[in-house]
Amino acid sequence: MAGNIFERVEIKYLLTKEQYDALRIKLEPYMQVDEYGLSTISSIYYDTANYDLIRTSMEKPVYKEKLRLRAYGNITEDSTVFLELKKKYDGVVYKRRISLPIKVASDYLERGIYPEKYDSQILREIDYFLIMNHPETGTLIAYDRMAMFGREDKELRITFDANLRTAFNKKNLLETSVDKPITRKNEYLMEIKVLGNMPLWLTNALTELNIYPHSFSKYAEAMNLYSAYAKRNSELNKEEHKNAYKYIGNYNYNFT
């Protein structure tokens, strides 16, 4: 078992393909791609039946928290996954996570079987979150990520996420799903993750390419997409009922 704690500032940007290509050239002297190269990340965000956690998060409070289960690469029954409690307070992100075999994580999250073998302070904090919030539903979010870290400052990390997609009502990472796109084709979500101030060379590169911070939550965008689909389906259903009544009204029924 391995537990991890992260504390850092995360700044997000939405890039066009042209901005992405130009920035990668400027990053070359200072950043290098990590050992995984381009890889797929799949996460399930857990929430209450009424989606109270994401509703609160979208109101942009000073403090908010999310619980997610994350896997890297191809997912099998032998995969190791990361159960992560993500908190954000006053702009600073705190992540507390624990690695578990995927079956152990599924038994815990779906059947309430506490993994005593992996007991730790982090797991107890996650357990407290589950007790207090009673999550009943999950939203799958997946994307293809290229991660980079500083050649000199190893704590400086930059990630580029493309092909963001989501599936609703998912609680198990082994479930197959039909994905809906969150971002447009050739659009990149960049995150700069720093412990202190951003280096001057990076600030200058962003300014030259007209790249500016953009508020973007993958989970919130997925929920906006879900709301749009729900609204559209509701309007279609209303129209169908309206047409059905109009159709029925053309007939004179006699049941005697």
pTM of the model: 0.82
Please name the residue that has the structure tokens 């309430």.
112
Separation of alpha carbons 175 and 33, rounded Å = 30
What b/e readout covers 214-240, taking b as 16+ CB neighbours within 10 angstroms?
eebbbbbbbbebbeeeeeeeeeeeeee
Q: Which two tokens stand for residue 141?
A: 């979010």
pLDDT digits (tens, 9 = 90+) for 135-171: 999 999 999 999 999 999 989 999 999 999 999 989 8
Return mean pLDDT, the chain: 87
Predicted local confidence at residue 18, as pLDDT: 98
Q: Exposure string (b/e) for 50-87, b if CB count within 10 Å is 16 or more?
A: ebebbeebeeeeeebbbbbbbbbeebeeebebbbbbbb
Residue ranges and CATH numbers for the domains of the chain are 3-235 (3.20.100.30)
Mean pLDDT of 32-39: 91
